[in-house]
C-alpha cells in the first residue's frame, strides 16, 4: 500500500541515538481503512488492561491512538512535543494540552505510538500523563523496532503490546560504528 517508506543510512533520532533505518511515517494515517486490521488487533490487546483513555504522541501515535480509543469507546488524548531537548538521550519533552490533562487525573491510560524505536516519544508522553495524575497501564505500538521498546516499557513498569516487531540496531553516539567510520548523519526528513 505504500503507507510507510523506509530508508537506510546514518540517522540521529529524537531519542539521541544513532541508527541505520529511517521510516517515513507521515502517510500511515492516509487510509483509516488500511489501518483497521492494526487498530482491531491493538484494541483487542489493550482492552484487557481496562483503560479509561488512550493517549498518543503527535503525530502518528495520536492518529492511531484516536482510532483505537474510538473502537474501545474510551477517551482520547494526545501529547505534543514542546522541546526537542538538549541533544542528550531521551531529552525531548511532550506535553498534554491543559484542556485534556485535567480529564486524565486518576484515569487508567494506554500509551499508543505508531512505531516505537528507542521510545523517546512514548516515555515523554507517559511522563506527562503521570505528571497529570494518570496511571499508565500499557505501552502499545503498531511496530516495535529492536530491543529498546521493551526496555522503555520495563522502565515505565508496564507491558508492551505490539502488532508487529522487527529487529533494529541503535547506538549511543559515542558507540556508533558509522560515526567511527566518519559517515555523516543524514536528515530523516
Is 110 a domain residue? yes
> Domain containing 99: what range?
33-168
Check which CATH number belongs to the domain holding 37 and give it.
3.40.50.2020
Is 10 a domain residue? no
Q: How far apart are CA 12 and CA 118, in angstroms?
A: 11
Q: How far apart are CA 163 and CA 34, in angstroms?
A: 14
pTM confidence score: 0.92
Is 178 a domain residue? no
User: 78 and 102 in contact (C-beta within 8 Å)?
Assistant: no
Is 28 a domain residue? no
Q: How many helices (H) and strands (E) does the chain have?
A: 6, 9
Is 75 a domain residue? yes
CA distances from 129 to 81, 96, 172 (A): 13, 7, 27
Mean pLDDT of 94-101: 94
Higher pLDDT, 132 or 92: 132
**CA-angle at 33, arms to 74 and 108, nearest 5°:** 20
Question: Number of folded domains in the chain?
Answer: 1
Using a pLDDT cut of 90, give the percent of the chain over it. 72
CA distances from 63 to 35, 113, 121 (A): 10, 9, 14
Q: How far apart are CA 188 and CA 164, in angstroms?
A: 22
Give the pLDDT of residue 144: 93
Give the pLDDT of residue 1: 43
Radius of gyration of the chain (CA): 16
Amino acid at each position: 500500500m505504500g503507507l510507510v517508506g523506509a530508508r537506510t543510512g546514518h540517522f540521529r533520532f529524537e531519542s539521541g541515538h544513532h541508527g541505520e533505518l529511517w521510516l517515513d511515517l507521515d502517510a500511515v494515517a492516509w487510509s483509516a481503512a488500511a489501518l483497521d486490521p492494526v487498530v482491531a488487533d491493538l484494541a483487542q490487546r489493550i482492552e484487557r488492561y481496562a483503560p479509561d483513555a488512550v493517549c498518543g504522541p503527535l503525530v502518528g501515535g495520536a492518529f492511531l491512538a484516536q482510532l483505537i480509543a474510538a473502537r474501545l469507546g474510551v477517551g482520547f488524548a494526545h501529547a505534543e512535543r514542546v522541546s526537542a531537548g538538549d541533544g542528550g538521550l531521551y531529552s525531548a519533552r511532550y506535553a498534554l494540552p491543559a484542556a485534556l490533562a485535567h480529564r486524565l487525573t486518576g484515569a487508567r491510560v494506554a500509551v499508543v505510538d505508531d512505531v516505537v524505536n528507542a521510545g523517546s516519544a512514548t516515555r515523554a508522553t507517559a511522563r506527562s500523563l503521570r505528571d497529570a495524575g494518570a496511571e499508565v497501564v500499557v505501552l502499545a505500538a503498531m511496530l516495535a523496532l529492536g530491543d529498546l521498546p521493551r526496555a522503555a516499557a520495563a522502565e515505565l513498569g508496564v507491558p508492551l503490546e505490539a502488532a508487529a516487531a522487527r529487529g533494529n540496531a541503535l547506538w549511543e553516539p559515542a558507540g556508533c560504528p558509522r560515526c567511527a567510520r566518519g559517515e555523516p548523519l543524514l536528515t530523516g526528513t
